[in-house]
Amino acid sequence: MRRQLGYGGVTTFLEDYQAVETVLLVGAHTTFTHPVIWMQIRKRARKGEINLILADPRETDLIKNAGIHINVRPGMDILWIKALGKIILDNGWHNKEFCRRQTIGFEAICQSVENFSIDAACARAGVSREILEKTAELIHDKRTIFIWGMGLTQHAHGTDNVSALINLALLTGNVGRPGCGLAPLRGQNNVQGACDMGALPNQLPGHMPVADAEVRTHVGAIWNATVPAGYGLSAPEMVHDIASRKIRALYVIGENPVVSEPQSNFVKWMLQRLDLLIVQDIFPTDTMHYAHVVFPAAAVGEKDGTFTNAARRVQYSASGLPPPGEARPDWFIVQEMAKAMGQTWQYGSAEDIWEEIRQVAPEFNGVSYARLKDSPGLFWPCYDESHAGTPRLYEDGFAFQDRRARFIPVKTPETLMEATEEYPFVLITGRLLEHFNTGEMSRRAAKLNKLKPEALLDINPADAETAGLSDSTEVRLTSPYGTVRIKLRFSDSMQSGYLFAPIHYNRPNFNALMSAVPIDPHARMPALKVVPVRIEGLTD
């Protein structure tokens, strides 16, 4: 989104869901993962006020509210999205005025799909051309919001998937107007805030690129430091650099890589090779078992600070309880570490740090604690204290010098995650309503754990019958990268040839089945959503 529009953030806000006419929802089970935004959509879909188009390899409960279900094969989204774009172009249904006045690269997009076969793409993706033509009709001349989850992004070509969807929005002029836009659904609270603060290998706070020498000069002067020009590493790259001994110490804050990273058995092995592992968290995670040093951190409600939600709304969060025992706010622990290493940091509160953030990043300059405490939050960019914030992006042009968005042609990957003779099924991973991420918080909640006490593997009943497997049978699930044991559950929502498992459990941990390579060349994201597997009944 930053490459094509200017900012790496959602372009819409909740009021747009009252003006939207068509919603295209890709790779997300919003009933479970984002119920607040789903309620906005469901209410109008049930009344027949909007066209809901759902793209998902599973038949989830969302289908009963959808006018169209694009029943795509897992990991094949880029094929049908490009085919849909070509259908729109071939019919002349693109917004010609918008493309001419507000974008660059339109001719390049046209050339990139000139020899693209819609029928071949549909066949490989498992989608009928008729369904895509109906989808194109429901987007043509309709205010459309494009929403996607990690079913679209957590692939080795996830960036290209998103670029293809952005190209669709630009083709149809559905950015920067009421009832239109692009809305990525974040995987957890404050993911947007972490990115805003520079928790990315190639960016500084405020989404400013590390490669920009002027940006490094600006930030370095405020920090009284020389900012390195080189990029950092993604988490999977860090694990591999432990293997080569380029990394010998690791500081893990609020993360559980033993469960969340691909090839988790390899991750465990690598953590044991470190000379020093520091883990800072609120609970004893699986990763903490390998730590040499543990720092107990304060939880939400035990510290002041801000959260930024998926809509770019910065909100103030106050402490209501003192941290237990030796637990301290994360910023305090990091500052004490810096002092022990010879630095002279003297922040007295989270607000002191926020004041520096306002100085570093222009997008947050107008977001003061005084304003946050007196409001339900402010949408960045917010450039000064008289600025109301920006709930909807790009109404006055895109965030580039020429004010135009960028079309980026994308190629179909040469290798996609598909079943083979040795691994005849494709496993899809996803989320449950009752649990959250690696489950370290939600599995400690007795009521939630009672509702979903264990992981189950969903399988089409016909596939189970063919394999001679019964409901609730324990099976061995094997990928090219690992093996786990799990109980089966028959589910009519599964297409034949596909399996589904939740990500929230450490036993079994399905990321043991996932590969750390290849990774997305842009986002450095591994393929965490799909992997070919085989399934076998257990005799022991």
Strand partners, 485: 476
Helix (H, G, I), strand (E, B) or coil at 402: coil
Q: Which domain holds residue 373?
A: 191-379
Q: Region 370-386: what's the mean pLDDT?
A: 96
Between CA 145 and CA 142 the distance in angstroms is: 10
502 belongs to a structural domain: yes
User: For the sheet containing 305-308, what is the strand order?
Assistant: 305-308, 313-317, 378-379
Q: Are residues 375 and 256 in the same domain?
A: yes
Q: Does residue 86 lie in a domain region? A: yes
Domain stop point among 355, 379, 403 = 379
DSSP summary character for residue 526:
B
Q: Which two tokens stand for residue 207?
A: 């989404």
180 and 33 in one domain?
yes
Same domain, yes or no: 196 and 165 = no
What CATH number is attached to the domain comprising 59? Answer: 3.40.228.10
At a CB cut-off of 8 Å and minimum separation 6, what does 289 contact?
258
Residues whose CB falls within 8 Å of the CB of residue 213, separated by 6 or more in sequence, listed in order: 229
Same domain? For 518 and 432 the reply is yes
Q: Is the dihedral of CA 185, 187, 193, 194 positive or negative?
A: negative
| Residue 393 domain flag | no
Task: Tell me: cis bond preceding 518? Omega within 30 of 0 counts.
Answer: yes
Q: CB–CB of 20/144 below 8 Å?
A: yes
Work out the number of other CB atoms within 10 angstroms of the CB of residue 336.
13
Render pLDDT for 6-38 as a digit per residue (tens, 0 to 9).
999 999 988 999 999 999 999 988 888 888 888
Query: In 99-221, which ranges are E strands?
Result: 103-104, 144-148, 181-184, 203-204, 208-209
Does pLDDT of 414 surpass 80?
no
245: number of Cβ within 10 Å:
10
- What is the average per-residue pLDDT within 455-481? 94
282 and 151 in a common domain: no
Q: What is the pLDDT of residue 540?
A: 62
Domain stops at, among 184, 199, 220? 184
**442 in the same domain as 332:** no
Q: Which of 379, 397, 417 is the last residue of a domain?
A: 379
Evaluate whether residue 49 is within a structural domain. Answer: yes
Is 102 part of any domain?
Answer: yes
Q: What is the pLDDT of residue 412?
A: 87
170 and 85 share one domain: yes
Residues 176 and 263 in one domain: no
Q: What is the rounded distance in angstroms from the CA atom of residue 147 to the CA atom of residue 110?
A: 24
Give the integer Cα–Cα distance in Å for 250 and 499.
35
Q: What percent of the chain has pLDDT over 70?
A: 100
Residue 26 lies in a domain: yes
C-beta of residue 370 within 8 angstroms of C-beta of residue 68: no
Partners of 317 in beta bridges: 305
Q: Which pLDDT score, from 0 to 100, does residue 115 have? A: 93
β pairing state of 22-26 and 144-148: parallel
Residue 85 · residue 408 · CB < 8 Å: no
- The answer, yes or no, to whether residue 392 has pLDDT greater than 90, is yes
Rounded Cα distance between 122 and 136, Å, is 14
pLDDT at 258 (0 to 100): 95
Q: Is the pLDDT of residue 416 over 90?
A: no
Looking at the structure, tell me whether residues 482 and 497 fall in a common domain.
yes
Return the higher-pLDDT residue of 493 and 381. 381
Q: Please check whether residue 95 is in contact with residue 40, taking contact to mean a CB–CB distance below 8 angstroms.
A: no
- Whether 144 maps to a domain, the answer reads yes
Q: Position of tokens 């895509």?
A: 132
- Residue-wise pLDDT for 495-506, tens only, equals 899 999 998 888
DSSP three-state, residue 137: helix
Average pLDDT over residues 317-328: 96
Q: Could you tell me if 485 and 449 lie in one domain?
A: yes
Q: Where is 68: in which H helix or E strand?
A: strand 68-70
C-beta pairs of 226-233 under 8 Å, 24+ apart in sequence: 231/201, 231/202, 232/200, 232/201, 232/202, 233/201, 233/524
309 in the same domain as 437: no
Which pLDDT does position 30 carry in this prediction?
84
Measured distance CA(308)–CA(320) in Å, rounded: 19
Q: Return the higher-pLDDT residue of 523 and 110.
A: 110
Q: What is the mean pLDDT of the chain?
A: 94
pLDDT digits (tens, 9 = 90+) for 256-314: 999 999 999 999 999 999 999 999 999 999 999 999 999 999 999 999 999 999 899 99
Contact yes or no for 99/402 (Cβ under 8 A): no
Q: Which amino acid is at 449?
A: N
Q: Identify the band that residue 51 occupies on the pLDDT scale cut at 50, 70 and 90.
A: very high
Residue of 518 and 460 predicted with greater confidence: 460
For the chain, the first-to-last Cα distance in angstroms comes to 50
Sequence-distant (≥ 6) Cβ neighbours of residue 176 within 8 angstroms = 11, 102, 392, 393, 394, 395, 397, 398
Coil, strand or helix at 262: coil
* Planar angle of CA 303, 281, 380, nearest 5 degrees: 50
Structural domain count, the chain: 3
Dump the DSSP string for 75-129.
T-HHHHHHHHHHHHHHTT-S-HHHHHHHEE-HHHHHHHTTT--HHHHHHHHT--H
Give the model's confidence band at 87: pLDDT under 50 very low, under 70 low, under 90 confident, else very high: very high
Residue 220 and residue 166 in one domain:
no
99, pLDDT greater than 80: yes
Tell me the pLDDT tens digit for each residue of 125-162. Answer: 999 999 999 999 999 999 999 999 888 888 888 899 99
